[in-house]
Chain A
């Protein structure tokens, strides 16, 4: 059995037959996971320096030189590396006095932080499978982003106390701006307007307080909250829809969960995207007391000024590992990254490797290299590679760069 590192569900029941450099029969992979496994043979990065193909040793020397000569290097990415590679990367960051940030900085970070600091209750996905009777997909669409979430854990399966699965024992509620594929199969769909989540949370708290909510369709909201209250084991799965909409009113999530927990039992599991983003946030928290946006320039400090959005303006070189910020950040920020010397460590070619001064191809973890990672609920999952590869792992590359300093 293999583990799929295509998303943070880290499905452990994958069977793949790889025959002579081609994908054969597979079992249990979702569409996204299948693409992830097929990527072993597609669009691989090649070692390069200044746009020309280079030897791996030359690329590593050049990378070490760029980072050593930078006054303020940024190390960004992290979420697609194993726990051991993340630890090795942090040793490098300390040595360089680098600014460190990961993808959580522009997505789930603030909710993951509340969970890791135990400010809001959480549970594992195995608890969800065994006990949950209400799953709320709030601004999340697992049918698209984490395709096996509903079948392995949150809706369809039989569990210890949920022997009748979705037919009788479980209710799925989706709150979203669009009738997403998840909304389509949920028992209840509540439409929210863009930016309207804070108002909706306040209205829900009003209902829970026994007051009349200030919304257009009062009956629909009261019925929704009544169903939420009936739950004996409810779980909220916040997606990017909630993350972005509540980012200015973060306290409302705590207030809602606290209120729900007065009459029921509710937990929160953030719908982390990349397979080991939670692992990085936990590793950094253990080492520094912060989950992201850390500078090692002068001791250890953290703050919004060390976010990738700001670091792109103030740093003078970047090491990007297992991430493609030139694709995923706003164009103006991508342009700033493209304008500085970038070292890209990645299994695949992407926009970031194509702007990079140095490209170091890595073995894809879970596909060609083993290790371990934290699933979206914090459970550690160990895995091996499924094919042999001559490419170095992230861990080896980071150690070699550190030696090269």
Chain B
């Protein structure tokens, strides 16, 4: 992973939390979860438009989500993802001696993609193996 490597930080979003309370399987929960929010400088640098699909590629996995321009700037080089089964594809199983996963300090590359966002039912099938 060369120059385009970004820090990925997961966070809680109140609209996503509300949708989660009302059911993990709703389209609304997916739309509010499978998202990465980027600083406008990064959007420009990566040639991305708001609403475009991107693959977030980390050492532990890759996940397709929708890119959004962040309204919590400035945070260049830091990509924000709501904590969800989508972001958890990027979190490694390995931890330090604390045995606490690195939910908030991940590394990854973000590239435009034509692939679709996988619905939660598909993520679940993949987990079942």
Which A residues form the contact surface with B (CB < 8 A)? 6, 31-32, 34-36, 38-39, 42-43, 105-107, 110, 141, 143-145, 147, 177-181, 183, 191, 193-195, 240-241, 243-245, 247-248, 293, 304, 307, 309-310, 324, 326-335, 338-339, 348-351, 354-355
Contact = CB atoms under 8 A, between A and B. Distances in A.
A195 to B, nearest CB: 5
Given A39-B21, A248-B98, A330-B93, A240 B72 contact: no
Interface residues of B, number: 49
Nearest 5 A/B pairs, CB to CB = A35-B21, A332-B93, A35-B18, A330-B91, A43-B23
Contact of B128 (A38, A333, A355): A355
A199 to B, nearest CB: 13
B83 interface: yes
21 contacts: A32-B14, A39-B21, A110-B98, A143-B14, A147-B14, A180-B11, A240-B12, A243-B100, A244-B102, A245-B104, A247-B96, A307-B99, A309-B101, A310-B99, A326-B124, A328-B83, A330-B93, A330-B101, A332-B92, A332-B93, A338-B129
Interface in B50-86: 60-61, 70, 72-75, 78, 80, 83-85
A32 B88 contact: no
A35 B104 contact: no
Given A38-B21, A329-B88, A334-B88, A194 B60 contact: no
B60 A332 contact: yes
A347 to B, nearest CB: 11
A330 B129 contact: no
A339 to B, nearest CB: 7
A142 to B, nearest CB: 10
A331 B129 CA distance: 11
A328 B102 CA distance: 12
